[in-house]
Structure 1
Amino acid sequence: MLRISNHHVSKIISVLLLVEVAILIASVYLGAGIRFHGATMRYIGTQSNSFFLSACAFAMVIVFSMSALGMYQANFREGLRNTLLRLMPSFALGIGLITLIFYLIPELYFGRGLLGLVIVISAFGILIARVLVFKSSESGLLVSRILFLGSGPLAKECHDLAINNIAYHKYDIVGFVPTPNEECQVPAWAILSADESLLSIANRHNASEVVVSVRDRRGGSFPIDDLLECKLNGIKVTDAPAFFEREACQIRVDFLQPSWLIFGSGFDQSFLRAFGKRSFDLLVSMLLFIVALPVMLITGLFIFLEDRGPIFYRQERVGKDGHTYMVMKFRSMRNDAESGGKPQWAKTNDPRTTKVGSFIRMARIDELPQILNVLKGEMSFVGPRPERPFFVQQLCKEIPFYNMRHSIKPGITGMAQVRYQYGASVEDAVQKLQYDLYYVKNNSLFLDILILIDTLQVVLLGKGAR
């Protein structure tokens, strides 16, 4: 995994992205060569530097469209047919966006005939590149060999994560080195003999990383000297919480220690980060408000026509440092949704939802008025989802570290919203908190952009609708 601004990115996806950007830019030049034959250089020369900018714009738009439709969360077992089926709507979206860019910036326009040819060339090139990259990953070129210290429940969880997370990284599991006084919960055939040193076991099996997956580290049975020896000999040693943070983008609260949070990296709350985030919030919010204004006007009209009730819904939520504010959303439930006076969790296919409300929830249109909360400074565009005071009091008592999510501004979208399905229980709140803590610890402009792209995927594909 590569680490960019505290966020871990798959090496395979990074390689694929760079290869595809090169293919897309090269496709524009190759298309020009085929279409204009010997006059290619003269054609490019008449376009001056704008031709290279046009090629870069085309590449960025197609990559963005592929990202928005989940093409960079690809499964390693994805075959040629499935790749082609996923590629077609991505290019359809890309064609629409690049056409809009050509209309807004005519200097980048390079002709419909050339665009059609470039689309065919680049689609074929990306299809071949994906097959080759994924086949290379399966052959072991981008596979990491890891060894687990421990054989109990935590070791099994780490093993399952490493096996099931193949969409981002591929691991070859060497085995498990047991520790004393630990209940074995992994297959017996995967247990390695502990008669030799941990370094010897790692070298013999060519392991590049040791994941420490032991809960109880008290007493003299924990092999701290062996782990130090591995570290000094170039073998990476990773703690289980860090392994979950890296692979699942979660900070697990069930075995989290305050010392790990205190002495670990992250939690950037500097002036520079705050200034950059606020500037990003204002820019994105104003652009989205301009683009979404027609949709918001139509939505308000339909809400009013359905039951002649209020268009907007205001509700108290908990924001940064525990301060409350009134969040604004399009009303998606009946006026008597909480006639009993007691707050209720929202449910999947909630019967209190109106017909218009069901659609705007699925399309996330109900969240758009929160742009006003962002412009007022009460919210950020990306951050933990704001919760009601009634539920916050309950969850703070039942879930450790829950209040940490209030150390930054809440957001319209966030890591939990794009990584976890809609939830309405304490158990769901725990899972979502683990994503929120990851964001609080590792938030950056780079991560904000990734979450916005994932949010677009959620909207376009209707994931997590409730």
Structure 2
Amino acid sequence: MSRIFSISKPDTARSRRHPLLRIRYQLAGGLLLAIGAPLLARMMLEPRVLFSINIQVTITGVIIAHILGYMIYRRLGSFPGVANFSTILPAFLLGYGLVFVAIFFLRLDYSRFQAATSFLLSILWYFSLGMIVVRQEVNRLALVPFGAIDRLEKVDNAVWHMLQTPELDSASSSTNSASVQGVVADLRADLPENWQRFITGCVLSGVPVYHVKQILESLTGRVEIEHLSENTLGSLNPNQTYIKVKQAADWLAALIALIALAPLLLLVALLVRLETAGPALFRQERVGYRGRVFTVYKFRTMHHETHSQHASRETAMTQKGDPRITRIGRVLRRSRLDELPQLINILRGEMSWIGPRPEAMALSRWYENELAFYAYRHIVRPGITGWAQVNQGHVTAVDDVHEKLHYDFYYIKNFSPWLDLVIVMRTMCIMLTGFGAR
């Protein structure tokens, strides 16, 4: 799906290219296939099966599950850098899982054949649609040639058409209003009157108009903060209700994980102790939620004499190919298993599963001096994994940390269970590939 349409999803421009790009056709086709095909197969063997309470409960459950799965699929696909195909299976697993777990606990009888077949057909339908979308859906955006639009030159996952006159037909000889999905303008620039009328006309005719910064956030997954006034009206203040709900869910999940993974934790601790002398756990003071200092726990991955709780800025940074890292430490870092002891920090309320990574005190104080607004990242609990980690990996240079800060702000601004689910999926992939490990 086009990442642009995470902002708004007008159907007018897209419907002229392919009907299956329209939401109602996608959902209607999915429901017909997921419900109709297995039902027809059953009716061929048993014509009166439709009058069975068992089937009626199943059909009702499938309709709810399919719509819920589709909503999750659309919501997850709105985040930058999320592959269209990668969200289909987890979205429908979650949708169908929630509905049929509820049916199970309500002790309602249902057809397992109908439910399982509907789930598989739903996956098949949206994978097929995804192949069409990949070929058909391209971000084509017209640019109003005023203000700070030069920042868009670095964004390569869109086709930009510079307008020469205040008409969509002027985008290029091969582009017209049917193929342009929206107009991008710097709405803070001093636009001539005829261009202001053009933008107003676009809005009235149903053509989306986006501010430059809005498009940059949608396509890159980063929030750029240049002035304190840009946090007006709490745009970077996360949902307080979700913070409380998430903390409770984090605590419960950490408790279950700690019990379930206890044998693995003991095995890893033993391997760390056997390879080199020193404790199995590494402790370090880091800056966390609302700027509070806490002690983070990790499996030790370096030689004991090089680990220091009160490290300087230079020694707190892990460089690529760092000679201090042990052999078992490299495996733990690549698989992210060295982070597992932070389950203790989650149980103590100091961390979350997902959030900006907590920095060592020496690094955090230095970053605060070097980078404006750095402390804003402490507005949510730090996490074992986060949006910056799944996009960047491990970074140490000031410029890279500045970019990481933009990812952290994007996470805070879009703080939601949907973004957390995306981060979980991408973290699982990273654990298999070792992306960004040092």
SS class of match (2:210): strand
2: CA distance between counterparts of 1:31 and 1:358?
55
Does 2:131 match 1:134? yes
Question: What residue in structure 1 maps to residue 14 of structure 2?
Answer: none
Does 2:231 match 1:267? no
SS class of match (2:297): strand
SS class of match (1:393): helix
Does 2:176 match 1:205? yes
Q: What are the residue-to-residue correspondences of 1:58-73 with 2, within 5 Å? A: 73=82
1:383 to 1:360, Cα distance in 2 relative to 1, 3 A: same
Q: CA deviation at 1:314?
A: 0.7
Question: What residue in structure 1 maps to residue 306 of structure 2?
Answer: 337
1:311 to 1:46, Cα distance in 2 relative to 1, 3 A: same
2:270 corresponds to which letter in structure 1? L
Question: What residue in structure 1 maps to residue 289 of structure 2?
Answer: 320
1:328 to 1:59, Cα distance in 2 relative to 1, 3 A: farther
Aligned counterpart in structure 2 of residue 306 of structure 1, from 275, 279, 303: 275
2: CA distance between counterparts of 1:292 and 1:352?
27
Question: What residue in structure 1 maps to residue 329 of structure 2?
Answer: 357
Q: Is the 8 A contact 2:143 2:183 kept in 1?
A: yes
2: CA distance between counterparts of 1:146 and 1:313?
50
Q: CA deviation at 1:147?
A: 1.1
Q: CA deviation at 1:403?
A: 1.6
2: CA distance between counterparts of 1:73 and 1:399?
28
SS class of match (1:328): strand
RMSD: 4.9
1: CA distance between counterparts of 2:416 and 2:299?
29
Q: Is the 8 A contact 2:355 2:380 kept in 1?
A: yes
Aligned counterpart in structure 1 of residue 258 of structure 2, from 266, 275, 289: 289
Question: What residue in structure 1 maps to residue 17 of structure 2?
Answer: none
Q: Is the 8 A contact 2:354 2:384 kept in 1?
A: yes
1:465 to 1:200, Cα distance in 2 relative to 1, 3 A: same
1:229 to 1:383, Cα distance in 2 relative to 1, 3 A: same
Question: What residue in structure 2 maps to residue 182 of structure 1?
Answer: none
1:265 to 1:367, Cα distance in 2 relative to 1, 3 A: same
1:158 corresponds to which letter in structure 2? L
1: CA distance between counterparts of 2:370 and 2:422?
31
Q: Is the 8 A contact 1:334 1:353 kept in 2?
A: yes
Q: Is the 8 A contact 1:20 1:129 kept in 2?
A: no
SS class of match (1:332): coil
Q: What are the residue-to-residue correspondences of 1:296-445 with 2, within 5 Å? A: 296-338=265-307, 342=312, 343-445=315-417
Q: CA deviation at 1:132?
A: 4.2
Q: Is the 8 A contact 1:320 1:406 kept in 2?
A: yes
Q: Is the 8 A contact 1:310 1:331 kept in 2?
A: yes
Q: Is the 8 A contact 1:150 1:214 kept in 2?
A: no
Q: CA deviation at 1:317?
A: 0.4
1: CA distance between counterparts of 2:22 and 2:372?
34
Q: Is the 8 A contact 1:147 1:211 kept in 2?
A: yes
Q: Is the 8 A contact 1:211 1:237 kept in 2?
A: yes
Q: CA deviation at 1:22?
A: 5.0
Q: CA deviation at 1:27?
A: 9.6
Q: What are the residue-to-residue correspondences of 1:50-89 with 2, within 5 Å? A: 73-74=82-83
Normalising by the residue count of structure 1, what TM-score does the alignment of the two structures yield?
0.68
Aligned counterpart in structure 1 of residue 141 of structure 2, from 121, 146, 149: 146
2: CA distance between counterparts of 1:370 and 1:10?
40
2: CA distance between counterparts of 1:59 and 1:457?
27
Provide, for residues 376-416 of structure 1, a one-character-per-residue CA deviation record: whole Å limited to 9, x for no partner: 11112221110012111221222222121112221111111
Normalising by the residue count of structure 2, what TM-score does the alignment of the two structures yield?
0.72
Q: CA deviation at 1:151?
A: 7.6
2: CA distance between counterparts of 1:281 and 1:13?
37
Number of residue pairs the alignment of both structures matches: 404
- Runs of 5+ unmatched residues, structure 1: 76-82, 165-170, 178-191
- Runs of 5+ unmatched residues, structure 2: 11-20
Question: What residue in structure 2 maps to residue 459 of structure 1?
Answer: 431
Q: CA deviation at 1:321?
A: 2.2
Please identify runs of 4+ aligned residues in structure 1 that moved more than 4 A.
6-28, 42-61, 105-112, 121-129, 198-204, 338-341
Q: Quote the sequence identity (%).
A: 27
Q: CA deviation at 1:52?
A: 7.4
Provide, for residues 261-305 of structure 1, a one-character-per-residue CA deviation record: whole Å limited to 9, x for no partner: 2147452353x2332222222233223323322321221121122
Question: What residue in structure 1 maps to residue 15 of structure 2?
Answer: none
Question: What residue in structure 1 maps to residue 16 of structure 2?
Answer: none
Q: CA deviation at 1:315?
A: 0.3
1: CA distance between counterparts of 2:262 and 2:63?
31
SS class of match (1:459): helix
2: CA distance between counterparts of 1:229 and 1:50?
52
Aligned counterpart in structure 2 of residue 176 of structure 1, from 155, 162, 166: 162
SS class of match (2:184): strand
Q: CA deviation at 1:29?
A: 3.8
Question: What residue in structure 2 maps to residue 180 of structure 1?
Answer: none
Question: What residue in structure 2 maps to residue 79 of structure 1?
Answer: none
1:130 to 1:264, Cα distance in 2 relative to 1, 3 A: same
1:129 to 1:49, Cα distance in 2 relative to 1, 3 A: closer
Q: CA deviation at 1:455?
A: 2.0
1:74 corresponds to which letter in structure 2? A
Question: What residue in structure 1 maps to residue 221 of structure 2?
Answer: 249
Q: CA deviation at 1:328?
A: 0.9
1:37 to 1:301, Cα distance in 2 relative to 1, 3 A: farther
